[in-house]
Structure 1
Amino acid sequence: MSNDRLIYLPLGGAGEVGMNAYVYGYGPKGRERLILVDVGVTFPDMDGTPGVDLIMADMAWLEARRDRLDAIFITHAHEDHVGGLGHLWSRLRAPVYCRDFTARIAAKKMLEAGQPVDEIITVPLEETLEIGPFKIRFLPIAHSLPEASAMLIETPHQRLVHTGDFKLDMAPGVGEAFDEEMFQAIGDSGVDVMVCDSTNIFSPHPGRSESSLPHAITELVKEAPGLVVATTFASNVARVRTLAKAGRAAGRSICLLGRAMQTMVRTATEAGLLHDFPPTIPAEEANEIPRENLMLIVTGSQGERRAASAQLARGSYLGFSLKEGDTFLFSSMTIPGNERDVLKIVNALSEKGVDVVDNSQGQYHVSGHANRPDLERMHDLVRPRILVPMHGEHRHLRKHALHAQSRGMVSAIAPNGVMLDLSGPEPVVAEYVDTGRLYLDGTAIYGAMDGIVRERIRMALNGLVMVTLIIDEDGQPLGDAWADCMGLAREGRSRKPLNEVIEDELAEEVARLPKKVLGNDDKLIEQIRRRVRSTCVDEIGKKPEVTVVVSRLSD
């Protein structure tokens, strides 16, 4: 009997939506050969991660076992699956396998991060890769962008299907339709485990096709009296095509705004996936066209502050501005956590008199993820013994696991950091791994436990006082300390400027300090910090962060 085992370890994407990163391993315990499926990102918010640009899964566990990592696979080109590749590849240094369109986007990520583009290997759809103990084949699947893929992963003793993100769309517009016969055949050959998308497990109605949208969008654009602006996910090339064709059918010229959207459309065209995309015009030319004859398709459907949608809501973007009588369409869903940012844009547009249209009636957007009846159909086609839910918050994973069990499958919940042994008749928790997050902050990458974001939050919540004190050659204060206050009320209970109150209190405090405290930086700084914080509590009822700079003059 073999002592080899098949393990599954999510480092991101299980217990959350986004930041997908899934490890599979096969071999003797502790010596498994490993592969990584997806290297995604999630996006920050001002409450929990102020100032951060991107959030990625911490690869420390995998980095420590880099000598056993044989390959990285990318299932599709959404940011939450490929967005971290360029930033994290240097920590892993394994070849990256993906299909053509995804490879083109992955190469751009690597190039932007200064990483070797020749590590990206384009895999033909029909090819089976033999990598270490694995045989791996990409399986075409419908999603909201071209060439999304599930994966068939085979070991000497197991067959596993990793669904990736998918929907049951027989007419997706761009990319392959869902191939029911292919998955039926895979199920007929026997599948031990399916690791399955769980995003829409709570949606009780069958999902709708992209082909159901053009008529409603065309009618909306035809009836709009002024300028029409539509926003969607930049990577949803099929939707961008749907919007553009609807705008043209309504008699309008089309202009794409936003670098990410232009890049995606250009890349899909270069890959031969957008044969019938309508002609578009540049922004300079679009500015000369009457409003009632123009449709803009823009980035920023999730309220991103620097994207085109937010800039149009705040004022203008590339010479375009919105006014009363214009129409703004959100052809998208709002990812949980982004509601407040989207609502800011909606209200700003409303103040301008713009008519805002969303998908509350289900006319202008379809999800790229399978709803519960579609998940059930996938269960029935593949018929795995074991179902492991992925891609969803914990509530999604739990609901999907319970639903699978009610339909006769064995199931287990594995949030980030829970390693499952999938070798036997039932999944068994093999290990708990410390997982975390990495933050891209400008050009720096640091961990969640480094304390930088925590310090930033404390400054945001409590304000900052900077105190400077000079000590002369004899160890005595050279004049009084001075204080700069940031993010704090200018005056407190005394009705005097807060910095002056602090400086008066410090003058009194420093004057009575013994020589041994004045001669010890650590003790001196701590005394000053305590006095500043107690003064601020008395004056404004807050304890700010306090930074003390002590400068000593030498002989």
Structure 2
Amino acid sequence: MIYLPLGGAGEIGMNAYVYGYGAQDKERLILVDLGVTFSDMDTSPGVDLIFPDITWLAENKDRLEAVFITHGHEDHVGAVGHYWDKLGVPVYARAFTANLARHKMADRGQPEEEIKIVSPWPQMTRAGPFSVGFLPISHSIPESAALVIDTPAGRVIHSGDFKLDETPVVGEPFDPDLWADVCKDGVKALICDSTNVFSRTPGRSEASVGPEIVDLVTNAPNMVVATTFASNVARVKTLAEAGERAGRSICLMGRAMRRMIEASIQTGVLTSFPKVVSPEDARTIPRENLMLLVTGSQGERRAASAQLARGKYNGIQLKEGDLFLFSSKTIPGNERGVIRIMNQFSEMGVDIVDDESGRYHVSGHANRPDLERLQDIVNPQMVIPNHGEHRHLREHARLTLERGRGSVVAVNGTMVDITGDAPMVCGFVETGRTYLDGATQIGAMDGIVRDRIRMALNGHVVVTVILDEEDEPLGEAWCEVKGLPEQGRSQAPLVDVLEEDLSQFLGRASEKTLGDDDKLEMELRRIARNTCNDEIGKKPEVTMIISRLR
């Protein structure tokens, strides 16, 4: 039996985990989760989404039985619509997650009926040599589930994202007795979330933030705006109920937040939610009687929070003395975007409350004591950490070994044999990431994003040269520049200096060089880059256009 992460191990996001059982290199396979991660301007400018590279799995799709989705977060379900046609197998999920997944399939023109709704434990779904059950566990989105994966080699528990919350406000509480019963006959391996392994205090319940939020909203004198993860339905409900108790009208802003609430109601996750008003009606309500719940807790540039920070959104504008609450934790890497929004609000005179004190947000992931408690309940032979950066996986493996169980650090592409009493690395497959760039999927190694970064860092020069029928220059070279200063060290226009140096070269170049496009292009590019380096200290990207009249 093998375990093979293709995404989500050695990083947070883009989860995709393969399990296999059978003869070596002929194992029947299942895939757990198929998620995305989000780009940033530093490493992937202009990219819309980042996917795991599933080339190995697609090449072996004749061995793939099914896909199982643990919950509805984008980093676990976001790639389903983009990748289903490469895999072509049924996708199983609980009702709330299936609702979200079907929207993603429809958005990409894929068959929604391939998303199969399954009931939670004790129902099991057969997929080749596997029987898979969805075991409820609490998280920051409804109907999260660990997977119970039964094979002839033994039972495996794939935790998914989780916390041990027995009062989660929305969704199922963690039931230690149920988990103990499921694991009583022995568990071969626990593959386990590692996100908060460095947090040494027990996790707090979602119910603990409600009174704090009610107090904050009740005492706010002007308009209140709050943002959180749209998928954290329990928090959205807590925020809305706090506003309702304070006598405020509630307005949801942002497509993702409305979709999550609609999906929760359609699937029975939410049986009640405070009455909401439309953005149009919100504009007519006195500010002190209004509370907005908006998307964009991670600084996303097109989300409602960012648009409010830049001015107006749906006709509503924040003013001095209003309150903006970040009821969320900033994911590492998103700090700059969030701080930018905070500063924009501060310049308006808006009072900002974030989660620095821990009063208005609790994590959806298990802290170190909770990871230890789950190990004690499950009592597996081995634990393989997943869902974390390398430092998280390594620390989780160390914790496990100290507690007398086998463990190994398995990053993306590492194939692990979990048949015996301890995990053993048994091979590697090539992995990486692919990008959704506009409407096209591109490879991380295609050079497109690399060139975009180079242009952003160094600027761009277009050099145009025309040669006549005798391979003689027809006039001088001319240049266009983008992203470069107009003048350099000589105080002359940069374009003029470039064109002069290039034209001098053309005047003394040999017939052999002028007659060979490759040699001519190489020399002109070298001169353009060297001239720019002398003038402005940068070597830009250079595009050559050589036209011949023949």
1:474 offset after TM fit, Å? 2.6
Equivalent in the alignment of 2:273 = 277
1:257-336 matches, within 5 Å, as 257-336=253-332
Tell me, yes or no, if structure 1 residue 438 matches structure 2 residue 430.
Answer: no
1:550 and 1:318 map into 2 onto residues whose CA distance is 50
1:235-254 matches, within 5 Å, as 235-254=231-250
1:402 and 1:493 map into 2 onto residues whose CA distance is 56
1:534 and 1:216 map into 2 onto residues whose CA distance is 61
- 2:28 paired residue among 33, 44, 57: 33
Equivalent in the alignment of 2:175 = 179
Moved more, 100-109 or 87-96: 87-96
Equivalent in the alignment of 2:78 = 83
Percent sequence identity over matched residues?
Answer: 60
Amino acid at match of 2:304: A
1:98 offset after TM fit, Å? 0.6
Amino acid at match of 1:469: V
Q: Which digits, 9 at most, give the CA deviation of each residue in 1:56-104, with x for residues without a partner?
A: 1000111110110110111000000001111111211111111111001
- 1:533 paired residue among 526, 529, 534: 529
Equivalent in the alignment of 2:479 = 483
Q: Which digits, 9 at most, give the CA deviation of each residue in 1:190-224, with x for residues without a partner?
A: 10100011111111111111111111101111111
- 1:108 paired residue among 103, 110, 114: 103
1:538 offset after TM fit, Å? 1.1
Tell me, yes or no, if structure 1 residue 341 matches structure 2 residue 337.
Answer: yes
SS of 2:420's equivalent in the other structure is coil
1:182-193 matches, within 5 Å, as 182-193=178-189
SS of 2:143's equivalent in the other structure is coil
Equivalent in the alignment of 2:190 = 194
Equivalent in the alignment of 2:202 = 206
- 1:49 paired residue among 27, 44, 47: 44
Equivalent in the alignment of 2:13 = 18
- 2:59 paired residue among 64, 71, 85: 64
SS of 1:135's equivalent in the other structure is strand
SS of 1:220's equivalent in the other structure is helix
Q: Which digits, 9 at most, give the CA deviation of each residue in 1:408-455, with x for residues without a partner?
A: 211111111111000011111010221100111101111111111111
Q: Which digits, 9 at most, give the CA deviation of each residue in 1:162-204, with x for residues without a partner?
A: 0000111111111111111111112211101000111111111
1:473 offset after TM fit, Å? 2.4
Equivalent in the alignment of 1:123 = 118
SS of 1:224's equivalent in the other structure is coil
- 1:510 paired residue among 502, 506, 530: 506
2:392 and 2:289 map into 1 onto residues whose CA distance is 44
Amino acid at match of 2:109: G
- 1:467 paired residue among 463, 479, 484: 463
Gaps of 5+ in 1: 1-5
1:334 offset after TM fit, Å? 0.6
1:534 offset after TM fit, Å? 1.0
1:110 offset after TM fit, Å? 0.8
1:119 offset after TM fit, Å? 1.0
Equivalent in the alignment of 1:424 = 420
Count residues in correspondence.
Answer: 549
SS of 1:71's equivalent in the other structure is strand
Q: Which digits, 9 at most, give the CA deviation of each residue in 1:134-162, with x for residues without a partner?
A: 11111111111111110000111211000
RMSD over equivalenced CA pairs, Å = 0.9
Equivalent in the alignment of 2:448 = 452
1:90 and 1:526 map into 2 onto residues whose CA distance is 43
TM-score normalized with structure 1 length: 0.98
1:186 and 1:412 map into 2 onto residues whose CA distance is 24
1:392 offset after TM fit, Å? 0.8
2:80 and 2:152 map into 1 onto residues whose CA distance is 29
